[in-house]
Amino acid sequence: MSDPVPITINVNGRERAAAVEARLLLVHFLRENLNLTGTHVGCDTSQCGACTVLLDGRSAKSCTVFAVQADGAEVQTIEGLAGGDGLHPLQDGFWEEHGLQCGYCTPGMIMSAANLLQDNPAPSEAEIREGISGNLCRCTGYQHIVNAIQHAAERMARA
Amino acid sequence: MTSADGPVLPKLIGERVKRREDPRLIQGQATYVDDIKLPGMLHLAFKRSDIAHGVIRAIDTSEAAAMEGVELVITGAELAERLGPMPIGTPFPAPDHYSVATDKVRYVGEPVAVVVAADRYVARDAADAIMVDYEELPAVVDPEAAMEAGSATLHDGFARNIAVESYWGGTGVNPETAQPEDDSAVDAAFAEADVVVSQRMLNQRLAPNAMEPRGVVAQYEAGREYLTVWSATQNPHILRTLVAGMMGLGEHQVRAVAPEVGGGFGCKINIYGEEYAAAALSRLVGAPVKWIEDRTEAFLTTTHGRDLLGYVDLAAKRDGTILGLKARIIADIGAYEVLLTAMIPTLTGLMMNGVYRIPVVRHELTEVFTNKTPTDAYRGAGRPEGLYFLERAVDMLARELDMDPAEVRRRNFIPADEFPFATQGGLVYDSGDYEPCLDKALELADWRGLLAERDAARAEGRIVGVGLSFYVEVCGLGPSAVVPTGGWEHSGVTVERGGKVTATTGASPHGQGNETTFAQMLADHFSIPLEDITILHGDTSVVKQGIGTFGSRSQAVGGAALISAAGKAGDKMKQFAAALMTDQEVSPEDLVFENGRIQVEGAPEVSKTFAEVADFAYVPVPLPPGMEPGVSEESFFEPENNTYPFGCHISMVEMDRDTGETKLLKMIAVDDCGNVINPLIVEGQVHGGLAQGIGQAMFEEVVYDEDGQPVTASFMDYVMPRAADLPAFTLDKTVTPTPVNPLGAKGVGEAGTIGSTPCVVNAAVDALAPFGVSHIDMPLRPERVWRLIQENGGQS
Amino acid sequence: MIPTAFEYRRAGSVAEALALLREGAPEAKLLAGGHSLIPMMKQRLAEPALLIDIGGLDELRGIREEGGEIAIGAAMTHAEIAASDLLRAQAPIVAETAAGIGDAQVRNRGTIGGSLAHADPGADLPAVMVALDATIAITGPDGDRKVQAGDFFQDILTVDLGEDEIVTGVCFQACRSAAYAKLEQRASKFALVGVAAALSLDGGTCQSARVAVTGASSHAQRLSGVEAALAGASLPGGAASASAGAGDALDFVNEDLHGSEDYRRAMTAVFARRAIEAAAGRG
């Protein structure tokens, strides 16, 4: 077994240092080492997007990043999205518009939507559907997710 | 507006109440199985067969066992000394099936050995280091070929690989013998028919693909002789029963917990080998163990759905009147019978009556073993297959007669005044009123306008089609006579001190929103705020009894149990309230719940608050004669019948002439699930169902090659619908309450899945009809469509 | 889901990466975005003993134009390429193709260097680079060298790159009249068939063309028959006849569940036509 690699990752605004096996996936670092279990694993081929986090501000599938690659980087997970009390407009939108059922894809879906709204604050329905095409949901048929993201975009535009 | 001294509480049933489950889910605070960590917990990894069919000659575990961090490596044969063959939930004969294969493997992915190790990474390394020597046998892949004399067989005692054969037909079934009473009528009906349409159709194999893979944590505490199993399951109480039996324990020694569960769609009904193995291995190594499925493992080992081949013949008169139906169904059930495997295809024939008066029916079913992953329930479970076969056949009939597909259906509808309606298969449809639903769908879709739009598009050279389907399904499973586990549901309602309410339900949800809908029902029942109610589920140590969530039964059966328990608790609250109002000579029968108070009907000044009464119930001085303190009541609800929701779906598709790609342009659904508790949640259920039904029609298929190797074992090859693949759906509803439960609710979980699949394929065939196409098998893979266009020279 | 164990080194420079590669050969692999390699490692289809992370190297970053030639550093992500105003103006085919790769998360991590060096038969960018006659810049123990994209892609997952070499970037002439069209394999989002066409136009007449296909065969390659037929053709009207036999000329054609050989050959013609028409439309 290879020697542990020391890493420091800023996760949700906190510096987190650890020595990890090089092959440890970022998603497992978040879930197992930091107990941030809001980030989920839904596949093993980088298709489903359940593990999506923001890595240096851009959406990334944390199952396809080694924790050592994120050394020195900033990671934001669903737990840190609101950045304090209350809900982020996307979380609020998903709640208001029934954008989730079983909830398993939801954290990754919300983080993808955050990336989308960052790039395009007023996306059309088609742009939303395209923007979340890296995330699979088996429950909702996506319609309420689209509504939820529109809801959030409108609220963020007003803010 | 205020009542005596407080705001008026709005009625919540029928309102779009935001879900109470969501705050934890949208903030990453929910606890799924993989989020559970116990002190000293070890991890399992399974060594799985990479061949479809073979005899295990030898397994070398030495390298794996010697690896650092490995606690134990055990083969199937060794584990079988501790775990017998797995139970099934159907009365059909079944071959022995061990949690981990003992001497022979019968599908790719079947486990052959298990590693117990300190962490997940080491466990995987060790599993990969196990060497298995197989004597390969010919793979049985094609279910029709499997039944031929020369075929290799999977199981001793099941000649020609046949697991189940059944036959019924004629003008009716003799309930005693299950034999047809008069089968000659079928042949006579076909002989006198003006037109017969016949088609071989495949309802292809699907992977359920709940986004959360399966997982289990098991902890056996030797000192207590007590086992706790956390599992991503739809039915923790069934899990408890079956795991207890396998472990030689009583149900009083087992606690099963379904924590947050990330979708099920039927594939988390079955209790799997990994769950039994985890329990046994926890006991063996004396530590809690966890196993979490990879997606690849899910494709290989979580039960698949559908995979029915149908030979369907429909006979009719020139005017469209249906005279008879013949269906020969071959179900490819895979390598073993698991919990409900053999039962699912039997529902297909039963539901092939659809919404029509069909005078005579002949139904033949053969279930066949092949070297594939076992099948079991998948959203709709047997009904989508039957409705697909029927609704395709009815559409073919309309085309053959050059009739409007809506009109052919209307002509054959069971009239509203004939309910309850007994079908040829022996079902009794509870209630139905199909024409208003059809009319509403036609109007919502602007059917005539849609046809004109299609014709205009065709005139421009585009390949466009419209399709319609009308389904009825069976929900609210129950009654116990037809559900091997028992068909009832259980609920408990406790009024706590301070007037808060805790309720339990055995209908263990995994996305259905029962914490919200059930709280809405109780809020209205007791006229208290939603926030004062907690709904608990999923833990057999909290929820005394239960069956689980499948067959769209949460509301129709679980909700009915809740209301029954709430009624008992309410009666007791009224008795305590009356006792508190002795000076006013109030009888409990005169009291009603109103805005947080218990009051004499129409006289709010004669009242006590709900909280006061609750407090009194726990310190009842003096205790009213004949009463026990406290308010904690429970009910089992046994439905007298199933419910039969129905609906009409309409779609429009366009195909790319060059590539064969299909685009779904429109999807309109009018569903009737009886009374609705929460329209927001019902819409979500319909949307999700539509997406899965559309997924089957257009994209999804589990494919094996001729050696039984899976070709679609990841999301790289199994096409799941993504957001950009689907249009916005247009929904509406009609409401035909059911008489079989006090709520009048029928269930909606599977509706969308059932109607949309034939609807989209009917639209596709309509689009391709100018090319001489009368049928296309699913999914609408671009190449398949392209070939049909090419065969006609690319010209319509 | 779980890769096998390996050593990890983050290179501070390309020179250090080269040294590490030499040290670790042949068991060493370069890692940038990791979106080709990590999925294979998780399936244990790749089990390198050493990963050398070059993802953060400034030397491998940047999109620049000099004298009509555009250079893209190997570590640039698809998202960065898609968002480049320079590329959108000077070589829109590159930005558009990058914008259509995989999904947003993949584009945020995946790099052009990784995509080209890995050479998945269904990857989009190789066809574009071949059509643009791009030069692949490579560095190794013996110094720098350049290979034309048409020579770089050799076979399935096989390119003209030594185990001790690194792709540092690509460069190509600015070209507006070029376009890429693909039939997406819906599950993986790779190209079942994708065709890139770069045209030299004089009004409505095509003077010369470079057309390349990906997805159809083992590796990205030119469709020389189509190129020949395009010379002197009037466009967009002549696109259909020029591309008609496009797929028939391929020696080897991939075949899987999503597309048989026949289908891929036919789609090669369809998407050649679409790419040519789109490129001509930019004329």
pLDDT tens-digit map of B674-683: 999 999 999 9
Q: Which residue type does C13 have?
A: S
Query: Is C11's pLDDT higher than 80?
Result: yes
A2 in B contact zone (CB under 8 Å): no
DSSP-H helix ranges across C3-162: 14-24, 37-42, 78-82, 85-90, 92-99, 104-109, 112-118, 125-131, 149-152
Beta partners for residue B197, in sequence order = B314
In terms of CA atoms, which chain A residue is nearest residue C190?
A: A47
Rounded CA separation A86/A104 (Å): 21
Name every chain C residue with its beta carbon within 8 A of the beta carbon of B712: 257
Rounded CA separation B712/B699 (Å): 12
Q: Measured between CB atoms, which of B120, B703, B786 is closest to C257?
A: B703
Name every chain B residue with its beta carbon within 8 A of the beta carbon of C260: 783
Q: What is the average pLDDT across B52-57?
A: 98
Name every chain A residue with its beta carbon within 8 A of the beta carbon of C10: 68, 71
Rounded CA separation B522/B573 (Å): 14
The residues in A 63-102 lying below 8 A from B, measured between CB atoms, are 77-79, 82, 87, 91, 94-96, 98, 100-102
Residues A48, B211: C-beta atoms closer than 8 Å: yes
Rounded alpha-carbon distances, angstroms, from residue B214 to A102, B116, B261: 14, 18, 9
Cis peptide before C236 (omega within 30 of 0): yes
Rounded CA separation B263/B209 (Å): 9
Q: Across the beta sheet with B730-733, what order do the strands follow? A: B463-472, B646-655, B662-672, B730-733
Q: Which of B90, B169, B164 is nearest to B353 (CA)?
A: B169
DSSP-derived letter for residue B18 is P
B655 in A contact zone (CB under 8 Å): no
Residues B263, A145: C-beta atoms closer than 8 Å: no
Contact B229, B279 (CB under 8 A): yes
Contact B408, B321 (CB under 8 A): no
**pLDDT digits over B437-465, tens only?**
999 999 999 999 999 999 999 999 999 99
Element (H, E) at C31: strand C28-31
Per-residue pLDDT, C25: 85
Contact C191, C123 (CB under 8 A): yes
ipTM for the assembly: 0.98
The residues in A 105-124 lying below 8 A from B, measured between CB atoms, are 105-107, 110
Per-residue pLDDT, B348: 95
Rounded CA separation A76/A26 (Å): 12
For B140, residues 6+ apart whose C-beta sits below 8 A from its C-beta are: B53, B146, B151, B152, B153, B154, B161, B369, B370, B371, B708
**pLDDT digits over B89-102, tens only?**
999 999 999 999 99
Element (H, E) at C198: strand C191-202
DSSP-derived letter for residue A4 is P
Nearest-neighbour CA in chain C from B451: distance (Å): 29
3-state helix, strand, coil in chain A (%, to 5): 40, 15, 45
Name every chain C residue with its beta carbon within 8 A of the beta carbon of B783: 258-260, 263
Element (H, E) at B689: helix B679-698
Name every chain B residue with its beta carbon within 8 A of the beta carbon of A124: none
**pLDDT digits over C228-270, tens only?**
999 999 999 999 999 999 999 999 999 999 999 999 999 999 9
Query: Is B142's pLDDT higher than 80?
Result: yes
What is the separation of C-alpha B326 from the centre of its chain, rounded to a whole number of angstroms?
27
Name every chain C residue with its beta carbon within 8 A of the beta carbon of A61: 105-106, 109
Name every chain B residue with its beta carbon within 8 A of the beta carbon of A87: 23, 26-27
Phi, psi (rounded to 5 degrees) for B220:
-100, 125
Q: Measured between CB atoms, which of C2, C5, C187 is closest to B717?
A: C187
3-state secondary structure of B311: strand
**pLDDT digits over A3-18, tens only?**
899 999 999 999 999 9
Residues A140, B688: C-beta atoms closer than 8 Å: yes
Residues B27, A82: C-beta atoms closer than 8 Å: yes
A19 in B contact zone (CB under 8 Å): no
Residues A44, B265: C-beta atoms closer than 8 Å: no
Q: Which residue type does B137 have?
A: L
Rg (CA), chain C: 18
Q: Interface of chain B against chain C, CB under 8 Å? A: 120-121, 124-125, 128, 294-296, 658-659, 661, 699, 703, 711-712, 715-720, 722, 725, 781-783, 786-787, 790
Give which of C103, C107, C186, C190 to mutate to test A binding, by max A Cβ within 10 Å: C103
Q: Which of C17, C216, C178 is nearest to C97 (CA)?
A: C178
DSSP string, B77-133: HHHTTT--PPP-SSSS------SS-SSEE-STT-EEEEEEESSHHHHHHHHHH-EEE
Q: Which of B653, B651, B652, B655 is nearest to B782 (CA)?
A: B655
B681 in A contact zone (CB under 8 Å): yes
Nearest-neighbour CA in chain C from B197: distance (Å): 31
**pLDDT digits over B551-575, tens only?**
888 888 999 999 999 999 999 999 9
Q: Measured between CB atoms, which of C1, C5, C187 is closest to B719?
A: C187
Name every chain B residue with its beta carbon within 8 A of the beta carbon of C43: 296
Rounded CA separation B158/B694 (Å): 36
Q: What is the average pLDDT across B300-324?
A: 98
Name every chain A residue with its beta carbon within 8 A of the beta carbon of C109: 55, 58, 60-61, 64-65
Rounded CA separation C38/A27 (Å): 13
Nearest-neighbour CA in chain A from B728: distance (Å): 6
Query: Is B476's pLDDT higher than 90?
Result: no
Residues B711, C257: C-beta atoms closer than 8 Å: yes
Nearest-neighbour CA in chain C from A110: distance (Å): 13
Query: Is B4's pLDDT higher than 90?
Result: no
Name every chain A residue with its beta carbon within 8 A of the beta carbon of B209: 138
In terms of CA atoms, which chain A residue is nearest residue C3?
A: A23
Q: Which of C271, C201, C205 is nearest to C240 (CA)?
A: C271
For B668, residues 6+ apart whose C-beta sits below 8 A from its C-beta are: B441, B444, B445, B649, B650, B651, B729, B730, B731
Rounded CA separation A132/B53 (Å): 40
Q: Which residue type does B561 have?
A: A
For B621, residues 6+ apart whose C-beta sits below 8 A from its C-beta are: none
Relative orientation angle of helices A143-158 and B679-698, to the nearest 10 degrees: 120
Q: Measured between CB atoms, which of C44, C186, C259 is closest to B783?
A: C259
Q: Measured between CB atoms, which of B210, B213, B688 is closest to A141?
A: B688
Beta partners for residue C9, in sequence order = C52
Query: Is B749's pLDDT higher than 90?
Result: no
Query: Is B3's pLDDT higher than 60?
Result: no
Query: Is B391's pLDDT higher than 70?
Result: yes
Rg (CA), chain B: 28
Q: Measured between CB atoms, which of B28, B37, B728 is closest to A78?
A: B28
DSSP-derived letter for residue B402 is T
DSSP-derived letter for residue A104 is S
Query: Is B793's pLDDT higher than 80?
Result: no
Q: Interface of chain C against chain A, CB under 8 Å? A: 1-8, 10, 31, 34-35, 38-39, 41-43, 51, 53, 55, 79, 102-106, 108-109, 187-188
CB atoms within 10 A of CB C13: 12
Query: Is B171's pLDDT higher than 80?
Result: no
Per-residue pLDDT, B180: 54
Q: Which chains touch A (3 or more CB pairs under 8 A)?
A: B, C
Per-residue pLDDT, A159: 82
Name every chain A residue with its beta carbon within 8 A of the beta carbon of C188: 47
Rounded CA separation B531/B12 (Å): 12
Per-residue pLDDT, B181: 61
Name every chain C residue with its beta carbon within 8 A of the beta carbon of B703: 257
3-state secondary structure of B55: strand
Per-residue pLDDT, B425: 83
Name every chain A residue with its beta carbon within 8 A of the beta carbon of C2: 23
For B458, residues 6+ apart whose C-beta sits below 8 A from its C-beta are: B464, B770, B796
**pLDDT digits over B593-636, tens only?**
999 999 999 898 999 999 999 999 999 999 999 999 999 999 99
Residues B18, A105: C-beta atoms closer than 8 Å: no
Nearest-neighbour CA in chain C from B632: distance (Å): 47
Name every chain B residue with its beta carbon within 8 A of the beta carbon of A50: 211
pTM, full prediction: 0.97
pLDDT confidence of C87, banded at 50, 70, 90? very high
Q: Measured between CB atoms, which of C4, C258, C270 is closest to B658?
A: C270
Rounded CA separation B235/B258 (Å): 7
Query: Is B1's pLDDT higher than 60?
Result: no
